[in-house]
Structure 1
Amino acid sequence: MARVNSIARSWSSSQSQSWKEPLNCRATAEPHMLWKINSGSSFFWWDSWTGLGPLAVFLQKGTMPGNTLVNEFIHENKRDTEKLLNTVPAPLHNLIERIHINDPSKPDTCIWTINSDGKFTCASPRELTRKRKDTNDTLNNLWYKRLPFKIAFLNWRVMRKKLPLDDIVSKFGQNIVSRCNCCPNPQSETLDHLFVHGDIAKNIWQYFANSLGIKISNINLHLSWRDICVIVDNYRNQISSCLMYWDRPITQQFKINTDGSSLIQMKKAGAGGIRRNKEGRMILAYSEYLEFCSNNRAEIEAALIGLKYSSSLGLNNIIFEMDSKLMVV
């Protein structure tokens, strides 16, 4: 008795698990395989060489064809029409007659129809068989290219509840006396307590929320960590504007508007200013890079540079205008 072809073979519990997975993917991959006939080395009943899939499915139920090759129906590079009529169901005759026989000196070639070049790649069947979940914008935003990978990975572990905290470890049957290390009165170490409800967590939320203009009252600290991340991710600061006007200096005076800035993360600082006369006409504008310093220091440098340029031009009657309360005081 002929061995069952692998196309028709099903998995049984006596076989390995490594064989089960390819069999599960078989039904998805087979429709994308097409055999190009050369010498006829393909299986006549089991390989998809007509474009309709295995021809065995067109046979009567209960019929089990053997591992017959296509070349058994070819004689002197031509189809054996009589044998085909006696073997193949009538509706398939015209289709088989249209199949072109290529170079008989070469073995048949399998074409992977998903790729334009017909070549198989490991990535393409993975895309066919993988089960994609719905896109999560909050998780996608964690992988920001300017964010250090270890921080992004930590955030991902937090969002996916993959940190080895007491509440998670206990789910594996470990008996743990859970005590956090973040509160004067220790409580159970859970994800929400560590990142939301704990004393240290609340202080951190207050500190950074105020710096970003976020009202902590808008965030319910009794929500789960995941819900809070979604709220913060969707938060948009309200932008307000007001009309500003420039006061002209009196006769024979010049006004210099200055500003300084310091970027802590980039370790850069700069200063600049503009000088105008009583008519508002620009007399001089300047900007300079500074060695990294505090923002207050940058404001001071901006005023000193403006004073230096004015002194070099013999201009003494000068008014400085700036947004630094420290300098004004």
Structure 2
Amino acid sequence: LGSLQPPPPGAGGSFPMAASPSVPAPANRLSYAQIISTSKPQPAIKIGVKPAAFTDHGEPATFFSKEEMSLSLKPLEMAIIARCSYGRCSIPEVMSCLSQRLDLKHDFIVSTLHQRHLLFRFEDKEDFMKVILRRSLYIKGLLFRFFRWEPLFDFEADPTNIPVWIGLPLLLVNFYYEDYLRSIAGNLGHVLHIHDATAALTQTYEALVCVEMDIKNPRPERIWIGCDNDGFWQPVNYHRLPSLCSFCRKLGHSINDCHKKNKKPHADEEEHMRNQIPAAEIVPANKIWKRKNKIPVPPTLDTSNKFHKLASEEEDALPMAHEDVPQEPPQITEVLGVHEEPYIVHVVASTLHGPLHGNKCADEGTIVDSSRWILGRGDSLDFFHDLWMGSSPLRFMLADLDDSPHVSVKEMLQNRSQPAWLLVPHMQKLTSIHLSEDQDTCIWTHSADGLFNTRSAYDILRPRGIQRPALAKIWHRLFLRKASMFCWKVIHRVIPVDSRISDHGVYLPSRCSFCRTGHCEDIDHLFINSDIAAALWHWFSPILHPPNSNNEHFTSWCWRVFQGSNLRSPFGFVALYGMLLITWEIWKERCKQRYDRKFTPIKTIIDQISLQISHAIHQPVFKTAPSDNQLSVLLSLGYKPFVKSIKIKLVRWIPPVNGLCLNVDGASKGNPGLSGGGGCIRDSNGNICLAFAFHYGFGNSLQAEVRALHDGLMLANEFGLSINQIYSDSALLVQSFTNNSSPSWDCARWWRPAYDTLRSLQTSCCHVFREANKVADALASYATSNHVNKTFTTFSSLPLACRGSATLDKTGLPYVQLG
């Protein structure tokens, strides 16, 4: 291309000049435009030539129909605009680097479109998706940003209609198919791509779909998935969503960080402005006038939490606007959740007053959104202005009550004749809330204990990508850190082999340091097909099947090993650690031969790897025993692991000496997921006095355990049964009563009443093995699977799945526990 004549201005970019423009091109040499028009002719669109027309003012005009406009847009469906704000290299270099970096398979056409803008036209949809999903790329050290071409593309602003990766966490696996995913995600925008791991069902924690959507529009947080008369709400996550500045209309920063808005005017400009304005009208630059809203501030809580120090208590520093408040407030019945039976949410959130000073970890919005209150006496909480139910304060939920009165929760609940009740519909839903003698406690929602810590604030503020739990295996505490770090680089293809250096525009002569054939050095050849790599993988083949460059890339093979390895088993431990060490030793030997001209025998490298594995495998005690074949392979290589011995225990339910005992248990499918709780009250003979199975909806296992205990105690009190002993297989729950502290802040609304009841009854809660809690476990599973809320007063009324365990407990036969 460098030998071609330069195209006319605007015809396709800047090419190296081969001859003066005044010299005519030879007859046998074609121009760039002629080559493109000959090899890739534009599709013909037959609409007929329009006759000349005029506007109402007599100016020339041409008119096209909507159908004709649609025909003109069809050839540009796979067109991309590249914005190069900081300059660009030549078009051949752009095409070469883009093809190598993104592994494009087919040709594409690049042309200049506007100042610092290029137009890419693709013919292959896969190549088009690779570029548009990348969104930005550095080529020759210059930033290129990619946007879909639109007829009314604004060259002065960033388009807001961009590809966004959305996540559907805990989506039912039966919906992990293309048509279902496109139907669900299509409610948010045009579906561009489904993530490979989602399409292959290799990652089912969260379905990932790329959707083209307008980010300036409101984004729904959930989607209703219905089937006949049933259904559920599916939460929606938005990954790596860029900020949008409403001032300069650019992506990547908010209006608070906008350099154009915060740019100080030049001294000459300030002087010119002062000369244009009368002296009496000049306002000092450092004086900011604002309206003061004198609203009484609720009394400050004296709690042990630290995060309230991050907000000052200035009376005139209230939030400026509430842009995230919906135009039509939801009904209070939806906020309270009538399906939650008689229990009203007692977790409240307080609006912290005042901006943050001296804190760089969190902003005011994050503090407000992440702060909650546990309702106690209710004298420190404002009924309307504090967020004490749902997702926003009552003044936003009920109506636009900007002038709502300031009254505490305690005053409202204790005085049913308070005039402020006239503003609250569905009053009976709120009057069922009961206060306690405990103090209103302020908590931080991103930690289990409710105490603020800097790490949790940093985790919610920093941008996070897609979580890959399998990749965390390489950071095992016994693995060589250098090997783990290098393998992480290999997975992300950031090691400086010759091919990767060439991809970045530095063209060097390439030759593999291990091979005599002079093969070019790339990642696949170096770590799979080179002489030393083939020898090492052959030695390690009894434990790990060696990679094959004909089937997959080396990085894909490494990722498959990460996902398939089980570090609880000695065989999986050795397989993963051996792969890391072999990869690291290959690279070390490559650098040693290339730069130091030194050679290490294969046997020496194998001995070094074996020594590292032997040193690591003798330290842990593995919980999963290897098979006989796996153990023989490990022993043949000189590795003798320590496996936890299996101990057999006989466990049975022990009836109370006198009185009644309560067994409770909770269950959660997916943890968190659909949850339920169950329990039974029995006498000293094992007879069922009362049992229950309640479905709790979405939650974790700890919440289900606490709620089951709370419900068991409330039912015992309702039926007049005196409990002498309580059994639970949750050690964390039992320990919480010993420590007089709730196991988690989101369990406090059920833990507090249960704790008060235990103190009043002087009853203890004991931990038992799961085998001794079979009846309660079966009831919890029954409630979770069947979505039921039932109580049982006799043995014959129990579900069939629970009767067998109840019979064995009554007879005193033991269960066998392997551990």
Task: Give the TM-score, by structure 1 length.
Answer: 0.46
The structure showing larger relative contact order (alpha-carbon pairs under 8 Å, at least 6 residues apart) is 1
Task: Give the TM-score, by structure 2 length.
Answer: 0.22
Q: Which protein has the larger Cα radius of gyration, Structure 1 or Structure 2?
A: 1
